[in-house]
Amino acid sequence: MKRLLELAELIKNTELRNKTIELLRDPTPSYHGWKVEGIELERAPASANLHHSYCGGLLEHTLSVARIGIAICDVLKEVHNVEVDKDTVIASCLIHDIMKPMVYEENEGTANTSKLNHLLLATLELYKRDFPAGVVHAVAAHHGKGSPVKPGTLEALAVHLADSLD
């Protein structure tokens, strides 16, 4: 978690940085008292049986996605002279799977997915916490064709590509 918070400090926009850090520290959904159970963020796998499917895999995956997202922004700027909102990319990469632990049910030491969807939960929570629309879109679109909405901005595309690459 410490390394994720260090990357969050790279976000220049103070309000977005603070919102991102607050969500990383306390991802508990705040939907009108609805209690969503799950497993601890630090213990969560990134997937039940695909990538990073082991205890702590989610934090490792998130760190990697954020670093890849930053690299994509840097390459677009340095090589192609294309401006990408790096703050949006960093925040979105750091929180793109923040609700994954909420969709897991622990069963005899393994994590199985429940009927909840992490994209839906994250989109609702980001909206409720008044995150910028660009971040909400990038998080909602990070699965590309498998998302409720396809990446419609360079920032969302960068997050999707970083997630897919890792």
What value does the mean pLDDT take over residues 76-80?
A: 96
Q: What is the pLDDT of residue 28?
A: 81
- Residue 1 pLDDT class (50, 70, 90 cuts): confident
- Asked if 99 and 55 count as a contact pair (C-beta separation under 8 A), the reply is no
Is the pLDDT score of 41 beyond 80? Answer: no
Is the pLDDT score of 27 beyond 80? Answer: yes
* Cβ count near 43 (within 10 Å): 16
Cα separation, 111 vs 145, in Å, equals 25
pLDDT tens sequence across 65-74: 999 999 999 9
Between helices 118-128 and 133-140, what is the axis angle to 10°? 170
Is the pLDDT score of 33 beyond 80? Answer: no
- Residue 23 pLDDT class (50, 70, 90 cuts): very high
- Asked if 129 and 146 count as a contact pair (C-beta separation under 8 A), the reply is no
Is the full-model pTM beyond 0.95? Answer: no
pLDDT tens sequence across 84-110: 999 999 999 999 998 887 776 665 555
* Cβ count near 33 (within 10 Å): 5
